[in-house]
Amino acid sequence: MFLQTPESRCAAMRVMQAWPQVYRSACPSNSASLLSDGFRCGPGWYPLIERLSADIAAILDEMPVPAFRVLQVNQKFGGLRFRVTGSNERILNRIAKAQVEAAHTCEGCGGPSRIRSVDMWLTTSCDPCIERTRPPRR
Ligand SMILES: [Zn+2]
C-alpha cells in the first residue's frame, strides 16, 4: 500500500546511518541487501523502527554479537517484519515488542490503529490513511 519514494528511502537511510552497528550490511552500495532501497513499510512505523534500532545498538554495545545483521524490514500481513540473523534473546525480545507496538500503530501516520482486513488486504492503516492511499475508483 505504501510505495517506496525517494523521500522514504532517504528517511530509511538516515535511520540506518545513525546506527551503523545495527545496519552494517545495509550500505546503499550493497545492492544484494534487501535493505538497499530502505524499509518496505509506511512512514508511520519509522519512529518505532528508529527506537528499536537505538535499543538494539545499546544491546550490541553491551554484549557484541559479531554475526548480527538486519536482513529485511518490511510489512507483511499487516505486521512489521524485522528479519535478522546472528541474534540473541534480548534483541529478539526487543523486536517482538516493536512488532506488538506496530500492530497498534497506523503504518501511514503513526496514529493509534490495529491490524484489520480492508479490501482483502491486512493492514494497520487508519481510515484517513486508507482513503489517502486507495487507488481512485473507476
Ligand atoms: Zn493513519
Q: What is the pLDDT of residue 32?
A: 63
Q: Are residues 8 and 1 in contact, defined by beta-carbon separation less than 8 angstroms? A: no
Interval between CA 126 and ligand 1 midpoint (Å): 4
Distances (CA, A) of 54 to 25, 84, 98, 110: 17, 15, 12, 18
Interval between CA 129 and ligand 1 midpoint (Å): 4
Interval between CA 67 and ligand 1 midpoint (Å): 36
Residue 32 is given by DSSP the state T
Q: Where are the beta strands (DSSP E) in the chain?
A: 69-76, 79-85, 116-118, 121-123
Residue 43 CA to residue 131 CA, distance in Å, equals 16
- Which has the closest alpha carbon to 86: 104, 105, 64, 116? 64
Interval between CA 109 and ligand 1 midpoint (Å): 4
Interval between CA 99 and ligand 1 midpoint (Å): 17
Q: Supply the Cα-derived Rg of the chain in whole angstroms.
A: 15
pTM over 0.85: yes
Interval between CA 113 and ligand 1 midpoint (Å): 8
Neighbours of ion ligand 1 (CB under 5 A): 106, 108-109, 111, 126, 129
Q: Tell me the pLDDT of the chain (138 aa) as tens digits.
A: 677 888 888 999 999 999 999 998 665 555 567 788 789 999 999 999 999 999 999 999 999 999 999 999 999 999 999 999 999 999 999 999 999 999 999 999 999 999 999 888 899 999 999 888 777 766
